[in-house]
Amino acid sequence: MRNLFIVFLLLSISLSAQEKTFTNPIIPGGYPDPSICRVGDDYYIVNSSFEYFPGLPIHHSKDLVNWELVGYGLHRENQVNGVVNLVDVNSNGGIHAPTMRYHQGLFYIITTNVYYHQESNTTDFVNFIITAKDIKGPWSEPHVLEGAPGIDPDIFFDEDEKVWYVGTRSPENPNFSGEGEIWLQEIDLENWRLVGDRIALWRGACGGTWVEGPHMYKRNGRYYLMVAEGGTGFDHAVMIAVSDDITGPYLSNARNPILTTRQLSYDNWVNSTGHADLIELPDGRWYMVALGIRGDEERGSNMGRETHLLPVKWEREPYEWKEVKHEWPVVAPLTGRVERHTPLPFPSKPQYQNISFTDNFDASSLNLEWNFRRVPRPGVYSLTDRKGFLRINAHPDNIKERTSCSLLGVRQKESDFEYSISMDFSPQNNGSEAGMSLFQKDDNYLNFTVKKINGKIQLQLTQAIPGKAPEVLKALILEEYDQQIFLKVTSKDQSYFFHYKFKRDAPFSRFKETPSNLILSKGYTGAYLGLYATSNGQESNDYADFDWIDYKGFQR
């Protein structure tokens, strides 16, 4: 009895401790390059979205640990079908590393659209600003800043009413390949143009390789320049420098990097932490948001780069011999790294993290969680053709580079999950197919679909991996098929298990098992769990009606 009491006591203490902590990442799924701003007691984060539409996802929170997706900065097709092009943008192109700030009643997002021209082997870096009075929009048309090189711009509103652009570029005379440079120039917001001299600020702290992602802050009269350095892999890091004048010179923190996993095992629970932004709370405390990659699968994760939260403490240098003793931010002061579980910023506000998603398609518009690869073509889907269903039309295009097809998805938020769908599909044309898609890129996906071939209905699992043609891993003629089918994939123990059935109350039948690393993130973005239809190059009136989807994530 005494031993049982001790076990109960220890369990109670453990649960009590967990109730006082939050779990990283705070925004699970492919949400990299976080930028945070505060308006009163409200906090907002915007993330990179690359080739996906709508772009620039925006989350809102009251407590820094519970975040709700409330809209997108790029939510209208006319924002992204011109100089800012998400119509036929290349994979890993599109919207990079935004900064969001609030000034005098207006929200500002400044960011870069990267567009590669294959014919000329050149790349456009279009830096632009959008604004909104309401965080949910509508957001303005893009205001392009001509003559701004590089990526990852920051916008800084100084106390003297000057507004500054802080950018990234390759220096004219680099000391080595991959060296970056942070530069500064004033912005004329009335005419949306850069004015005055362009000033080189800093090339980083620890080697200066791939210096990017700058953010400027002002504290106690001094300017702090924080950057990402070392690339987005295991050497990713956050560096900081200080100056008495915004134009420099900047003194590097001798204790750089202030955040990294360079010193940790490659098998740490999270790696590649970096590309951060700082926020001050109303009570004077500070926090940092930063990206990181969970090491769930082969030191990586299908979710790619996600948003994490860390406490920050400012400390003054203690050295007696220094005439000027600077203050520096100390990130995660107790451990110096991103922890899976961290004390709550507001102890009275626990975290209620929702890592599941259900959609019955009863609303008049698509849920904000849904994304398309590039701007969808007209007529791809309908929520009105059949009430309570999402209809996806089987257009000729299938999944391929620089193409928009009948494909949409929601972000995978945990490595372990169960994803199921209900579909009505009665194809008339040979070649038409529809079902679920687990996709990472145009050349990296798993499609679990029903397809009509030679007059017969076939269930098949198709895999695409970079550098190879898509391959059918398994196919089965469905003699019992009569329009309706339920498909399910479960991710558990580093494996995917694919199932199907024809009736709601029937048990699922096992179709195929595969490793779960087949769509492991190798690039900037994370995996999506989606719906797909195509007529594979043929003109067709075929379509698939989806009654519901259900996604349940399970934390490891």
Catalytic residues: 33, 212
What letter would DSSP give residue 83?
A: S
Cβ-based neighbours of 458, under 8 Å, separated by 6 or more: 450, 451, 452, 475, 476, 477, 478
Cis check for the bond before 249: say yes or no (omega within 30 of 0): yes
Task: Report the distance separating Cα 494 and Cα 473, nearest Å.
Answer: 18
How far lies 222's CA from each of 156, 239, 248, in Å? 14, 16, 10
What is the number of H-type helices and E-type strands within the chain?
1, 39
Q: What distances in angstroms separate CA 109 from CA 101, 145, 161, 166, 349, one per listed residue?
A: 7, 13, 18, 13, 29
**How many angstroms separate the CA atoms of 391 and 410, rounded?**
17
d(CA 186, CA 197) in angstroms, rounded, equals 8
Going by the DSSP 8-state scheme, the letter that residue 17 receives in this structure is: H
| Extended beta strands in 170-302, E state | 181-188, 193-202, 212-219, 222-229, 237-243, 251-252, 259-260, 270-280, 286-294
Residue 336: name the closest of 266, 288, 281, 282 by CA: 288
Angstrom distance (rounded) from CA 434 to CA 449: 5
How do 327-331 and 305-316 pair as beta strands? antiparallel
The C-alpha angle 129, 140, 110, rounded to 5 degrees, equals: 15
Q: From the CA atom positions of the chain, what is the Rg in Å?
A: 25
Maximum distance among all Cα pairs of the chain, rounded to whole angstroms: 85
